[in-house]
């Protein structure tokens, strides 16, 4: 026989279990993003020409889409969230991934800020697709999800080969300045007489560009 205090305890345990499962799903999506970051940064880097795999569309759009797919699919299959809640979980996964990119992987904060709107948009789209995949795919769901998660890595080499290689140009111009080299270097490194109102309207200065 259930005693009066048993039902609230069971409800709390279910709530805690659901919260832990949601955290696991968020972490799963973030881990995929971090691993993909490492692969794209190393496998498609071109230091000689200044190219980076992190600038490929398959990374910028494909990876957050797959993060959303993972979260949406897992949320539906484990029945812990509807479409709206799965979308929120995907945003949390991308936020965790972005935090790791800045704090652990040392990605520039300006690059992160510029890419974040695209990352969040693609994660939301992926969460919806993943939730629908979990709803309608049945036993084929894990296989379809696995194929989807490998698509960015499969498309990246093709995109990398098709992308235009950077070209180098050298332009030389001479200007005579009636000052010593030391004085010129000092003014280049520490420019003086810049008024505050000259910096007020620029977006670059607002986000911290020196």
Per the domain annotation, does 152 fall within a domain? yes
Q: What value does the mean pLDDT take over residues 4-15?
A: 69
Per the domain annotation, does 191 fall within a domain? no
CA–CA gap between residue 13 and residue 29 (Å, rounded) = 25
Q: What value does the mean pLDDT take over residues 103-120?
A: 80
Longest CA span, the chain: 98
Per the domain annotation, does 176 fall within a domain? no
pLDDT at 76 over 60: yes
The residue that leads in pLDDT, 117 or 195, is 117
Q: What is the pTM of this model?
A: 0.74
pLDDT at 146: 94
CA–CA gap between residue 100 and residue 77 (Å, rounded) = 27
pLDDT at 207: 63
pLDDT at 1: 47
pLDDT at 13: 80
Per the domain annotation, does 45 fall within a domain? yes
What is the residue range of 32's domain?
8-162
User: How many CB atoms neighbour CB 93 within 10 A?
Assistant: 27
The token pair that represents 31 in the structure block: 């881990």
pLDDT at 75: 93
Per the domain annotation, does 119 fall within a domain? yes
Number of domains in the chain: 1
pLDDT at 148 over 90: yes
The residue that leads in pLDDT, 43 or 201, is 43
Weakest mean pLDDT among 21-25, 26-30, 107-111: 107-111
Q: CA angle 19-20-22, nearest 5°?
A: 65
Average pLDDT, the chain: 84
Report in angstroms the alpha-carbon separations of 73 from 87, 107, 148, 154, 169: 11, 28, 12, 21, 49
Per the domain annotation, does 123 fall within a domain? yes
Q: What is the DSSP letter of 196?
A: G
Per the domain annotation, does 115 fall within a domain? yes
pLDDT at 100: 86
What are the φ/ψ torsions at residue 46 (nearest 5 degrees)? -130, 80
Per the domain annotation, does 180 fall within a domain? no
Give the three-class secondary structure for 86. helix
Give residues with Cβ within 8 angstroms of 49, minimum separation 6.
Answer: 165, 166
The residue that leads in pLDDT, 134 or 198, is 134
């Amino acid at each position: 026989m259930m005693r009066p205090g048993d039902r609230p305890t069971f409800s709390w345990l279910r709530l805690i279990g659901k919260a832990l499962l949601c955290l696991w799903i968020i972490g799963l999506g973030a881990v995929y993003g971090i691993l993909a970051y490492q692969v794209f940064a190393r496998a498609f880097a071109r230091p000689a020409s200044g190219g980076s795999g992190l600038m490929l569309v398959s990374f910028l759009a494909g990876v957050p889409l797959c993060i959303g797919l993972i979260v949406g699919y897992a949320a539906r299959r484990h029945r812990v969230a509807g479409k709206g809640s799965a979308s929120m979980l995907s945003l949390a996964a991308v936020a965790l991934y972005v935090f790791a990119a800045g704090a652990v992987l040392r990605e520039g904060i300006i690059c992160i800020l510029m890419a974040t709107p695209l990352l969040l948009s693609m994660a939301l789209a992926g969460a919806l697709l993943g939730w629908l995949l979990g709803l309608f795919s049945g036993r084929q769901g894990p296989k379809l999800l696995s194929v989807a998660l490998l698509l960015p890595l499969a498309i990246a080499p093709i995109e990398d080969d098709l992308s235009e290689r950077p070209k180098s140009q050298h332009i030389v111009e001479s200007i005579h300045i009636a000052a010593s080299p030391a004085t010129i270097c000092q003014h280049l490194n520490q420019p003086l007489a810049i008024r505050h109102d000259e910096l007020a309207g620029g977006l670059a200065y607002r986000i911290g560009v020196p």
